[in-house]
């Protein structure tokens, strides 16, 4: 293993799969376990965290969304702040590729940190030559 931990960017698809016990859950669990030991870094954009919360609230209600947020806050996931440069970089990705705006933030994080994007979202297919993607599910 190298001196610095491998960086994984977790998108909303991957986190929701983990939280819901869906396909790909075991791989996300492994990454989070390794992150808790300091062997890897698990990161998520604040925008993607917001996406997880709104999807949960829409599908399961406000109380469940608040519960999920409390659970995520205890996980070994570093939440990446979103500043001016990140917003503009995500806007550029959105303008160039057929992805959701929130997904563009995960892409920007993977590019900036030379990380591996963990997802099962087929929308990322058009970006497989731009960032390294590990497909789950």
pTM: 0.93
Phi, psi angles (nearest 5°) of residue 78: -85, 125
Residue range 12-71, pLDDT digits in tens: 999 999 999 999 999 999 999 999 999 999 999 999 999 999 999 999 999 999 999 999
Q: How confident is the model at residue 4 (pLDDT cuts 50, 70, 90)?
A: low
Q: Where are the domains of the chain?
A: 7-122
Taking CA 72 as the corner, what is the angle to CA 124 and CA 6, rounded to the nearest 5 degrees?
55
Q: What is the pLDDT of residues 84-97, one digit of tens each?
A: 999 999 999 999 99
Q: In this structure, which topology does domain 7-122 adopt according to CATH?
A: Rossmann fold (3.40.50)
């Amino acid at each position: 293993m190298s001196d610095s931990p491998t960086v994984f960017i977790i998108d909303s698809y991957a986190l929701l799969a983990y939280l819901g016990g869906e396909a790909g859950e075991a791989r996300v669990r492994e990454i989070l376990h390794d992150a808790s030991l300091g062997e890897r870094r698990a990161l998520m954009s604040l925008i993607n965290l917001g996406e997880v919360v709104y999807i949960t609230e829409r599908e399961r209600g406000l109380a469940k969304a608040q519960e999920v947020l409390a659970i995520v806050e205890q996980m070994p996931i570093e939440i990446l702040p979103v500043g001016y440069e990140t917003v503009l970089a995500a806007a550029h990705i959105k303008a160039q590729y057929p992805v959701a705006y929130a997904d563009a933030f995960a892409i920007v994080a993977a590019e900036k940190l030379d990380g591996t994007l963990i997802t099962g979202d087929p929308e990322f297919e058009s970006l497989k030559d731009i960032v390294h993607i590990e497909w789950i599910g």
